[in-house]
Amino acid sequence: MNRFDYVRPASVAEAVAAAALPGSACLAGGTNLLDLMKGGVARPERIVDLTRLPGLSAVERLADGSTRIGALVRNADLAHDRAFAARYPAVAEALLSGASGQLRNAATAGGNLLQRTRCAYFYDPASACNKREPGTGCDARDGENRSHAVLGWSEHCIATHPSDFCVPLAALGTVVELEGPDGRREVPLADFHRLPGETPEHETERRPGEIVLALRLPAEATAFAGHARYLKLRERTSYAFAVVSVAALLRMDGGRIAEARLALGGVALKPWRAEEAEALLAGAEPGREAFGRAAEAALAQARPSGDNAHKIELARRLVLRALLLAAAGTPERVPALPGSPFAPVPGGTLHV
């Protein structure tokens, strides 16, 4: 690990000024950044500690019915906020399916958005990685790539985004609040993360010096609370990143689907909003036939990036399963194994 300066700003303005200096990296929970530093993947010259900034650690219900999540809210605190979980059960289930209890106690909402891919070649400084060192190539293309992207990838990068939390957030139309040298602005979460294209080193729409202030869920997102599920297929039941994940949310009206929201994780370098599938479901009668068509539409653009054609079929089946479970209604209790398609047994009473 290289030597670095440490700065603890007392205000957002001070944090922005420090973050704008070349070589700066922002620290919140540190659950990703510190690993990258210890492995020699990240070598910042300056650590800007955001953890003491005022006003960024609250979950607020705003006057217009929307919900604002401060960037420093801990994942565990958000998942176990009963009022929040009742309004956005798929988000709570996604949070509880990620990492371990210890990591959820440290990780933050803002940091979750900005975590880096878990591609093994990105984490290995001896491997070629265009994301880590632009222009060096992508060893994952001809390497061990069973877990890599099947949507939106390019010859320059086939990595996936690791977040569970961001998948239902993207489906629900969440907005990211940012502040930087040019002032405050907002970016829809669905547009916040970039696909790799020819510049995989540019991962988000965050500009130099900008910090994440908060995430804001719109008021209309609560309309999906009665029919919302998050499913995560992984190589082991706990403490593993998704091979494929799905957030399925339905707004029902008279036995038909008035509106659907569908997003996939583990398949691209960003949470993948399946808008074509959503359009097919609008006005449809819930059932295997309609959900099967939606699953086909959601993966219509998918293609293997290596030895991972199986992920496409897994994703189709998980979309179908998630939609069937969502149509049956949000369970009153969080499943004992949150996010698992193999866990029908109820667990805690978080949604009640």
Q: How would residue 261 be classed by pLDDT, with cut points 50, 70 and 90?
A: very high
Question: What integer is the mean pLDDT of 257-286?
Answer: 98
Q: Which residue has the tokens 């106690």?
A: 105
Report the chain's mean pLDDT, rounded to a whole number: 95
Q: What is the DSSP string of 72-117?
A: T-BHHHHHT-HHHHHH-HHHHHHHHTSS-HHHHHH-BHHHHHHPPP
Q: Contact 80/219 with Cβ under 8 angstroms?
A: no
- Considering only CA atoms, which of 24, 60, 344, 32 is closest in space to residue 177? 60
Q: Quick: pLDDT tens for 121-168.
A: 999 999 999 999 999 999 999 999 999 999 999 999 999 999 999 999
Question: What integer is the mean pLDDT of 215-233?
Answer: 97
Fold equal for 1-53 and 225-328: no
Question: What integer is the mean pLDDT of 302-318?
Answer: 98
Of 6-15, 161-170, 301-310, 329-338, minimum mean pLDDT range: 329-338
Whether the predicted pLDDT of 246 surpasses 90? yes
- Considering only CA atoms, which of 198, 204, 196, 202 is closest in space to residue 166? 204
Q: Contact 291/170 with Cβ under 8 angstroms?
A: no
Q: Name the residue type at position 157.
A: C
Backbone angles phi, psi at 211, to 5 degrees: -120, 150
Q: Contact 212/206 with Cβ under 8 angstroms?
A: yes
Q: How would residue 350 be classed by pLDDT, with cut points 50, 70 and 90?
A: low
Q: How would residue 344 be classed by pLDDT, with cut points 50, 70 and 90?
A: low
Measured from the Cβ of residue 301, the count of other Cβ atoms closer than 10 Å reads 13
Helix ranges (DSSP H) in the chain: 12-19, 33-38, 75-79, 82-87, 89-96, 101-106, 109-114, 166-171, 189-192, 275-281, 288-298, 310-328
Q: How would residue 258 be classed by pLDDT, with cut points 50, 70 and 90?
A: very high
Backbone angles phi, psi at 138, to 5 degrees: -135, 100
Q: How would residue 1 be classed by pLDDT, with cut points 50, 70 and 90?
A: confident
Q: How would residue 347 be classed by pLDDT, with cut points 50, 70 and 90?
A: very low
Whether the predicted pLDDT of 352 surpasses 60? no
CA atoms within 13 Å, Cβ hemisphere of 100: 4
User: Where do the structural domains in the chain lie, given as residue ranges?
Assistant: 1-53, 225-328
Whether the predicted pLDDT of 8 surpasses 80? yes
Q: Which residue has the tokens 């999540």?
A: 69
Whether the predicted pLDDT of 346 surpasses 60? no
Q: Which residue has the tokens 């800007």?
A: 48
- Considering only CA atoms, which of 38, 69, 41 is closest in space to residue 56? 69
Provide CB contacts within 8 A for 234, sequence distance 6+. Answer: 240, 241, 242, 243
> Among residues of the chain, what percentage have pLDDT more than 90?
91
What's the start-to-end Cα distance of the chain, in Å? 46
Q: Tell me how many helices (H) and strands (E) the chain has.
A: 12, 12
Whether the predicted pLDDT of 218 surpasses 60? yes
Backbone angles phi, psi at 304, to 5 degrees: -65, 145
Q: What is the pLDDT of residue 351?
A: 54
**Domain 1-53 CATH (choose: 3.30.43.10, 1.50.10.10, 3.60.60.10, 3.40.50.10240):** 3.30.43.10
205 vs 332, more confident? 205
Superfamily designation of domain 225-328: CO dehydrogenase flavoprotein, C-terminal domain (3.30.390.50)
